[in-house]
Amino acid sequence: MTIRSFLILTAALLCGIFQSCSDSDKSMSVMSFNIRYDNPGDGANAWSNRKALVASFLNEKRPDIIGFQEALKHQVDDLNNALSDYDYIGVGRDDGKESGEFGPVFFLKEKFELLASSHFWLSETPDITGSKSWGAALPRIVTWLQLKNKQNGYTFYVFNTHFSHVSIYARNESTILLLNKIKTIAGNAPVVLTGDFNAPPKEKMYQTMTNNWNGYLQLWDSRRLMSDYEEALQPTFNGFKRDNPPVIIDHIFVNGYFDVNNITTHHIIENDVFISDHFPVCVELSFRLNVRDKWGEEQTLMQSTQQPIVECDKLCFSDSLNIEMRAQGENDRIFYTTNGEQPDTLSPIYTTPLNLTKSTTLKVMAYANGMYPSKVLTQTFIRKRQTKARLVEVIPEADEKYHSKDYATLFDMLKGHHNNLSDGSWIGFNGTDNDFLFDFKRPSNVSEVYLSCLTQPAQWIVSPSKVEVRTSNDGIHYKLVGSMALSTSFNESLSERFIVHVPFKAKARYVKVSVFNGGLLPTGHGGAGNPSWFFIDEMVVQ
């Protein structure tokens, strides 16, 4: 062999070695896994029967990064104890601490350095812990991390989430919010997005996620980057049934900085015990040196400005009340009205806290250049007069699950907690028409009734159909003095509080407020045929 031939062969061998090392350095495995919350009603598939199988599978496969969904705090602890080679980031979606389901991201601590991390909620107020919007029945959280590969210095972002299971509208709006958050947080960096999106590829949310938006790095479904796309289309949701219709709702999206080498949906069932009601999905990725060209016609994604935040927990006040508001975007301007009109850019602009001295309906919107205005946020603040009125009877009584002692929460002047309906801050009634009887001790001038209510049809909670007010001086004979008919909606995308105000004029000792149920849930509703609920968190009679 000549020296020249030897040098060429050596160079080729070294090049192959370096190329192999380089390919290895650029690769990583990412898994999305809805582990199913610990529900004792799952019988043989309860968490206590599955957790060893989950731990064994994960330690065998040892993916670099795992985005979990539906993990309760003790399940996160079980995973953390079993996966000793991993660190994780995650909080409970209800309180931003330990309450409710987590969407934690686990990562190999020997391979990655954590540079940054945080959470936000899929709502019109994503920085408010536990918030929800667009008809989502439950709060939905996003966990994100910025990681650095310790060996090669590659820096990238991981986002993990779990979309609404009831509202198509919420899933699409969540996608728009998520795309904008990814753009704000990650900029033009490499991004991996894992999650249970509760949506198959045919749904609008999927198209929104993967379209070519002007000014955004395009996201791809990792399955579509496989050479054998059809082979990658394995069902991910099983519902603990072998013969469940093939459903793909768990996805791993990546932007143009990644190639996909392989994707596997692991159909794990041992001794008739399923690893979860979802099968874990794992993708083998490798970093690209140059971002992939976009695909498809370029479109403009017009984002709505995020709703401003009114920072006040009170519904009622005695003398005066200061109201502070906060925009969620740096360049957002807040416009408001207090006269019942819809705000626009000609309305007063918020600069300093508002001081309220009378009952006021505040309407607020935010506006930023190049964006749609936010939805109008409406809140009513009620000035309560001093009276000797006392609630003496409720017929029939509230449901025992949604109750507070002596109905005290109806008079605490505070809003009920929007994301925890069973903490005693709401009073709930199921399928009944109810009378609330007040005693003023002596004949008094009475002029109005306020009820603060909730409508959340996805949770079977709807507005009353009617409110009537009657007065009496002897507690026996009552006269109708005021009424209001309400339009009850069963639209499962709704989720909002509202105020019912019934004005009248009377002088009486007793006041009876009759609240009429919204009726049976209609055909087409998920709970069709069942009685609806109504929920109230404050009542004012004065």
pLDDT of residue 15: 42
State whether 375 and 394 are in the same domain.
no
State whether 110 and 254 are in the same domain.
yes
Helix axes 73-82, 47-61, angle to 10 degrees: 40
- Average of per-residue pLDDT values in the chain: 92
Query: Per the domain annotation, does 11 fall within a domain?
Result: no
**Across 110-117, average pLDDT:** 98
Query: Per the domain annotation, does 10 fall within a domain?
Result: no
What total of structural domains would you count in the chain? 3
DSSP string, 71-120: B-HHHHHHHHHH-TTEEEE--BTTTSSSSS-B--EEEETTTEEEEEEEEE
State whether 131 and 274 are in the same domain.
yes
**Across 186-198, average pLDDT:** 97
State whether 455 and 517 are in the same domain.
yes
Residue 470 has pLDDT above 90, yes or no: yes
Separation CA 379–CA 164 (nearest Å) = 25
Q: What is the band of 26 on the pLDDT scale with cuts at 50, 70, 90?
A: confident
Residue 493 has pLDDT above 80, yes or no: no
pLDDT of residue 23: 56
pLDDT of residue 187: 96
Residue 14 has pLDDT above 50, yes or no: no
The token pair at 114 is: 């954590």
Is 495 within 8 Å of 133 (Cβ atoms)?
yes
Q: What is the band of 12 on the pLDDT scale with cuts at 50, 70, 90?
A: very low
State whether 83 and 226 are in the same domain.
yes
pLDDT digits (tens, 9 = 90+) for 332-376: 999 999 998 999 999 999 999 999 999 999 999 999 988 889 989
Rounded to 5°, angle at Cα 144 from 127 and 374: 35
Q: What is the band of 22 on the pLDDT scale with cuts at 50, 70, 90?
A: low
**Across 268-288, average pLDDT:** 96
pLDDT of residue 308: 92
Comparing CA positions, the residue from 348, 339, 341, 350 lying closest to residue 308 is 350
**Across 460-480, average pLDDT:** 97
Residue 409 has pLDDT above 50, yes or no: yes
Which amino acid appears at position 21 of this protein? C
End-to-end CA, the chain:
106
Last residue of a domain, one of 256, 287, 318: 287
The token pair at 493 is: 């995308």
pLDDT digits (tens, 9 = 90+) for 238-270: 999 998 888 999 999 999 999 999 999 999 999
pLDDT of residue 13: 38
Residue 202 has pLDDT above 50, yes or no: yes
Query: Per the domain annotation, does 65 fall within a domain?
Result: yes
State whether 410 and 328 are in the same domain.
no
Is 208 within 8 Å of 172 (Cβ atoms)?
yes
Separation CA 365–CA 306 (nearest Å) = 9
What range does the domain containing 323 cover?
Answer: 309-383
CATH number of the domain to which 29 belongs:
3.60.10.10
- Evaluate the CA torsion angle 201, 205, 211, 216 in order and state its sign: negative
Last residue of a domain, one of 287, 321, 355: 287
Query: Per the domain annotation, does 295 fall within a domain?
Result: no
Residue 8 has pLDDT above 50, yes or no: no
Is 432 within 8 Å of 517 (Cβ atoms)?
yes
Separation CA 449–CA 431 (nearest Å) = 22
- Which residues are paired to 117 by β-bridges? 145
